[in-house]
Amino acid sequence: MKALHIKLISLVGLFALLLVVMPSCRKEGDTIAIITVIDTSGARVPGATVILYGTPSSPDYAGLEIIRKDTEFTDAAGQATFNYTEAFKLGQAGFCVLDIKATMDTLEGSGIIKVEEEKTSEETVIVQPQ
């Protein structure tokens, strides 16, 4: 009888341990935003400055500081890559919608990107003379 109790307690303990450990085994996927910058002829623009920034979406917060601002430069393929994996937390509902500003010398362009959690989100911005 005592052996049965020990086995039962061991089984319950093992089950409880599995309940705690198993959810933490899920590996978080990368959350990446890629911005491709092109000019009006469709040519990719290397060396452009790309800024992704979030602003408050509610009128209640109008005039407050920018929530997030990240800057990268486009590579030889005209792409700037932003890695938000560390900013996203598992279990979080959604990630963010960011404004895009791209500049290169006298060329400028803008847009928005919805950065989806654990995915690679892509957007293209056309820069033109301002």
For 13-71, write each residue's pLDDT tens digit.
Answer: 666 555 555 555 556 688 999 999 999 999 999 999 999 998 776 666 656 655 678 99
Q: Which residues 6+ apart lie within 8 Å of 23 measured at CB?
A: none
Q: What is the pTM of this model?
A: 0.72
Residues in the chain: 130
Structural domains of the chain ordered from first start: 28-129 (2.60.40.1120)
Q: Which residues pair with 104 in a beta bridge?
A: 107
